């Protein structure tokens, strides 16, 4: 069962994992109000569609009222075949950065696994990821990053590496302490040199 987005966001907050400011919107007016003239993203969330971007359910960089309204109407119309659905509005992540995926799943043999890889639309094309059993320590987290072909793209230098190691350890802790979670996707997590944003969350129980 897919968790409600905000239930999932709340648990990330609890473990100090920063996700981007978001709220559900009931109509186009709500979305416009949320924007406050700053660029936003609108997404349709439905259990029926895992690949939001590919299905055209993510509308990026909506900076004026006209674009926001048009995007909202388009999503609402697509939603008719994906009921039940919700539309979420999010602040745009800062410019730049690289998309990664951090995830977890409950393996019947070995228990909780944690994953990091090249994320976003590249997840399936490159399948560049590293996997470990939870709990992981600092060394394991470092080795996970070292294992990635894209390691030099994902972690620029010392500081971003440290940040990412800490983030992985927080996710591992979350997975271990919440046994009811069967699958977790933080995808994409946008990584910049000194900060990151979890942009999309998917938790399955």
Partner 1 sequence: MKELKYILKPKSVVIVGASRTPGKVGHIILQNYINDGYSGNIYLVNKNEEEILGMRSYSRVTGIKAGSIDLAVIAVPAEAVPEVLEDCGKAGVKSAVVVSGGFAEIGKQELQDEIVKIAKKYKIAMIGPNCLGVMDPRSRVNTLFLPSYKLAKPEIGGISFVAQSGAVGSTVLDLMAGEGFGISKFISYGNAADIDEVDILEYLMEDEETKVIAMYIEGIKRGRDFIELGKKITKKKPVIILKAGRTAAGATAAHSHTAALAGSYEAHEAVFRQFGFTIANDISELLYYSKIFASEAAPVGSRIGIITNGGGAGVLTTDAIASSRHMSLGELSEKSKADLRKVMPPLVNITNPLDLAGDADDKRYRDALTSMASDPGIDMIIVIILFQTPGADSRLAAEVVAMKEKTSKPMVVLSIGSEYTEMHKMMMERSGLPVYDSPRAVALSLEALYSYYQYKNHSG
Which residues in the 53-92 window bind partner 1 by CB under 8 A? none
Select 50 or 193, whichever has its Cβ closest to partner 1.
50
Q: Residue 107 is encoded by which pair of tokens?
A: 């393996």
Beta-bridged to residue 167, according to DSSP, are none
| Under rule CB under 8 A, residue 103 binds partner 1 | yes
CB 138 within 8 Å of CB 173: no
Residue of 66, 41, 69 lying closest to 53 (CA atoms):
41
CB 59 within 8 Å of CB 41: yes
What would you measure as the largest C-alpha separation in the chain, in angstroms?
Answer: 52
| Under rule CB under 8 A, residue 191 binds partner 1 | no
Select 136 or 199, whichever has its Cβ closest to partner 1.
136
Could you write out the DSSP letters of every residue in 177-202? H-TT--EEEEEEEEE-SS-EEE--EE
Near partner 1 by CB under 8 A, which window of 60-68, 69-77, 82-90, 96-104?
96-104
Select 25 or 201, whichever has its Cβ closest to partner 1.
201
| Under rule CB under 8 A, residue 26 binds partner 1 | no
* Least Å from the CB of residue 54 to partner 1: 12
Distance from C-alpha of 164 to C-alpha of 155, rounded to nearest angstrom: 8
| Under rule CB under 8 A, residue 36 binds partner 1 | no
* Chain residues that interact with partner 1, rule: CB under 8 A: 2, 50, 101, 103-105, 107-111, 113, 115, 117, 123-124, 127, 129-133, 136, 139-140, 143, 147, 183-185, 187, 202, 204
């Amino acid at each position: 069962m897919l968790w409600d987005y905000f239930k999932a966001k709340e648990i990330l907050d609890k473990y100090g994992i920063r996700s981007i400011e978001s709220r559900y919107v009931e109509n186009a007016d709500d979305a416009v109000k949320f924007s406050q003239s700053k660029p936003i993203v609108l997404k349709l969330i439905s259990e029926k569609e895992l690949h939001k971007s590919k299905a055209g359910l993510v509308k990026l960089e909506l900076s004026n009222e006209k674009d926001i309204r048009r995007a909202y109407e388009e999503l609402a119309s697509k939603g008719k075949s994906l009921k039940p659905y919700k539309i979420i509005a999010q602040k745009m992540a800062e410019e730049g950065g690289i998309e990664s995926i951090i995830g977890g799943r409950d393996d019947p043999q070995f228990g909780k696994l944690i994953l990091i890889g090249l994320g976003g639309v590249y997840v399936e094309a490159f399948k560049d990821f590293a996997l470990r059993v939870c709990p992981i320590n600092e060394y394991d987290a470092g080795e996970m990053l070292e294992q990635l072909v894209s390691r030099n793209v994902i972690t620029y230098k010392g500081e971003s590496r440290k940040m990412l190691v800490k983030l992985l350890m927080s996710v591992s802790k979350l997975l271990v302490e919440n046994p009811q979670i069967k699958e977790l996707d933080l995808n994409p997590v946008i990584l910049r040199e000194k900060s990151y944003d979890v942009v999309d969350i998917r938790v399955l129980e």
